[in-house]
Amino acid sequence: MAQMNMIQAINSAMDVAMERDENVCVFGEDVGFYGGVFRATAGLQKKYGKRRAFDTPINEGGIIGVAVGMAAYGLKPVAEIQFADYIYPGLDQLVSEAARLRYRSAGEFTAPIVVRSPFGGGIFGGQTHSQSPESMFTHVSGIKTVIPSTPYDAKGLLIAAIEDPDPVVFFEPKRIYNGPFDGRYQEIVQPWSRHPASEVPEGHYVIPLGKAATVREGSDVTVLCYGTMVHVALGVVEREGYDAEVIDLRTLLPLDIEAIVASVKKTGRCLILHEATKTSGFGAELSALVQEHCFHHLEAPIVRVTGYDTPYPHSLEWAYFPGPIRLGEALKRVMED
């Protein structure tokens, strides 16, 4: 065991994967010598050489397209997109190629790539360093979407993603790289070292994709969330004393429907929390699924607490962020309804 923050855990995941499988390689803008603008790949070039950890041209479509070709050859490419906001130029290679290759070739060719990308706001990054585009990927058949919320999960999920035979988009909540930010932006954020999930095995382990974690048991309401929002939810629930069950989805697709349904059937209420814009965000799918599976158990309308349907505004960041107050009000509503 070692103490790791989220960046260190992610770094360690790649290190372990590269150590175990010489076909694993990492690349992306500033990923090689410098080790990534968030330092997630620091040291990997030194350890594994330039052929396995390298910088790339600034071309997200090329990064993903080249990764697909490498994967078709037999490598296990782990590509970094510097910010999730910059994944769109690479979307076609993800949607039309990586996601479709196994299907269209009936399994002859596959594209087991991992695309890692920091996402979400809360760092005053303005509208092009704060986006949460995860729901788009969940709409694309053939892609798995994974979002960790702790160092421990990040490492185990990333290793699982690298070992997975399918393309995986791995979004890293950059706001919690250094500590489990709970949305109270006026307070000093605790470092990960104070959090039990910063105890991370140094070696290999996996957290299976498709399994949610019930991070808090409760009986009054189910809170579905992922990434940074897990900490926001836990903070509010604890501080305001709700007997809420908080489920960290960890994998959006494939979704752990069993955990969700079991919980909502138990609590009869459901609140969905994410940072992405509301309309057609992943909360919509969650809401639809919950009402399809738990209609007769629901005692109140399912509530979505999300980013607003605007770009992420630089100076009004904290008004935009679905933080403790908004969540607290929504919890109150869902409990009273």
Partner 1 sequence: MAKQEARSNLPPLDLYVPEPKFRPGDDADFSDIVIPAAGETRRPDIADDHHTMRDLSYGLVRVLDGEGKAVGPWDPRLDAETLRKMLRAMALTRAYDQRMFRAQRQGKTSFYMKCLGEEAVAVAAAFALDRDDMCFPSYRQQGILIARDWPLLDMMNQVYSNKQDRLKGRQLPIMYSAKEGGFFSISGNLATQYPQAVGWAMASAAKGDTRIAATWCGEGSTAEGDFHSACIFASVYKAPVILNVVNNQWAISSFSGFAGGEATTFAARAVGYGIAGLRIDGNDALAVHAATQWAAERARTNQGPTIIEHFTYRTEGHSTSDDPSQYRSANEATDWPLGDPIARLKQHLVGLGEWDEERHAAMDLECAEQVKVATKQAEKFGILGHGLHQPLETMFEDVFAQMPWHLREQQAEMLAEYEVAKAKAKQGEA
Ligand X SMILES: Cc1ncc(C[n+]2csc(CCOP(=O)(O)OP(=O)(O)O)c2C)c(N)n1
61 closest CA partner among 34, 38, 95? 95
> Nearest approach, Cβ of 20 to a copy of itself (angstroms)?
32
Q: Give 161's strand partners.
A: none
**DSSP for residue 188:** P
Rule CB under 8 A: is residue 253 a binding residue for a copy of itself?
yes
User: By the 8 A CB rule, do 306 and 327 touch?
Assistant: no
CA dist., res. 255 & res. 292, Å (int): 15
Task: Report what 135 binds from ligand X, partner 1, a copy of itself, none; CB cut-off 5-8 Å by kind.
Answer: a copy of itself
Cβ atoms of 180 and 190 within 8 Å: the answer is yes
Candidate residues 59, 105, 141, 219; the one interacting with a copy of itself per rule CB under 8 A = 141
**Residue 119 φ then ψ, to 5°:** -140, 170
Q: Which does 69 bind (CB under 5 to 8 A by kind): ligand X, a copy of itself, partner 1, none?
A: partner 1
Q: What residues make contact with ligand X under the rule CB under 6 A?
A: 29, 58, 82, 86, 89
Beta bridge partners of residue 76, listed in sequence order: 24
Contact 212, 250 (CB under 8 A): yes
Find the residue with minimal CB distance to ligand X: 86
Distance of alpha carbon 8 from alpha carbon 201, whole angstroms: 12
Decide: is 281 part of the binding site for a copy of itself (CB under 8 A).
yes
Nearer to ligand X, 58 or 288 (CB): 58
Decide if 183 contacts 235 (C-beta within 8 A).
yes
Shortest spacing between CB 199 and partner 1, in angstroms: 29
Instruction: Compute the least distance from the CB of residue 219 to partner 1, in Å.
Output: 25
Closer residue to partner 1 in complex, CB, 108/296 = 108
Q: Is 129 a catalytic residue?
A: yes
Q: How far apart are CA 249 and CA 207, in angstroms?
A: 12
Specify whether the CB–CB gap between 105 and 289 falls below 8 A.
no
Report the partner that residue 91 touches, choosing among partner 1, a copy of itself, ligand X, none (CB closer than 5 to 8 A by kind): a copy of itself
Of residues 82 and 263, the one with the C-beta less far from ligand X: 82
* Binding positions for a copy of itself, rule: CB under 8 A: 61, 85, 88-89, 91-92, 95-96, 100, 103-104, 127-128, 133, 135-136, 138-142, 253, 276-277, 279-285, 287-288, 291-292, 295, 298, 300-304, 309-311
Active site residues: 129
